[in-house]
Chains A and B, each alone.
Chain A
Amino acid sequence: AQKVTQAQTEISVVEKEDVTLDCVYETRDTTYYLFWYKQPPSGELVFLIRRNSFDEQNEISGRYSWNFQKSTSSFNFTITASQVVDSAVYFCALSYNRGGSNYKLTFGKGTLLTVNP
């Protein structure tokens, strides 16, 4: 069985602070994929990143960075110099390869990030 845990239900920061959203996953698969999605107030889930289990390189995209550590089964997401527009619910998700059904995502409960001016 797969499971994703986002222990932080809500985080509140002041603009320009750095913030890290934690994600811990459980899976018995050797090949799997990890995702982060952002849900702004408009409601849709916006794709941020996808990582496969064989690629442990950390990634940086502008103010966003992701730290994937298989040893601790974690895929944490850091926003540097946060902005008010970063306020949203962030979901970590996991999927696996089962005969073509790659995208049966298992989501965490999400972390509500509020960035105050």
Chain B
Amino acid sequence: EAGVTQFPSHSVIEKGQTVTLRCDPISGHDNLYWYRRVMGKEIKFLLHFVKESKQDESGMPNNRFLAERTGGTYSTLKVQPAELEDSGVYFCASSPRGFNEKLFFGSGTQLSVL
């Protein structure tokens, strides 16, 4: 069974540009989460989808970040325009519907904004 897949694994962009990160959860997982780790800090929650609906987006830093989940399958996280402080590792995780024991994480996208 394929795990959570994130693309790209690395992205280097200049300040002011737009970047779109993609996450393919494990097939059949209704729950999808985005987390971010900024250098030297904790991994922090960004948002949670249940199928295509945003359940909780309280962790989104500002309106330069837009997350979508098309048809309850894959998800994208767009940063527009990117700022220097957006640099970090963006993790995606998924879990099946209902009460779950664990999240399945992807390997993350390393975003560097220069």
Contact = CB atoms under 8 A, between A and B. Distances in A.
Interface stretch (A20-28, A43-51, A74-82): A43-51
Contact of B104 (A47, A93, A105, A109): A47
A91 B42 CA distance: 9
Interface SS, A side: loop
A37 interface: yes
A105 to B, nearest CB: 6
B75 interface: no
A101 B55 contact: yes
> What's the interface size class on B, roughly?
20 to 34
A72 interface: no
B106 to A, nearest CB: 6
A22 B42 CA distance: 16
Interface string A1-43: 0001000000000000000000000000000000101000011
Given A104-B45, A104-B56, A105-B45, A47 B108 contact: no
A100 interface: yes
A91 B33 contact: no
Interface in B79-114: 89, 91, 93, 95, 99-108
Contact of B105 (A45, A100, A106, A109): A45
B107 A107 contact: no
A103 B42 contact: no
A102 interface: yes
Interface of B: 3-4, 9, 31, 33, 35, 40-45, 48, 55-56, 59, 89, 91, 93, 95, 99-108
Q: Which 5 A-B pairs have the closest CB atoms?
A: A43-B107, A45-B105, A47-B102, A107-B43, A44-B107
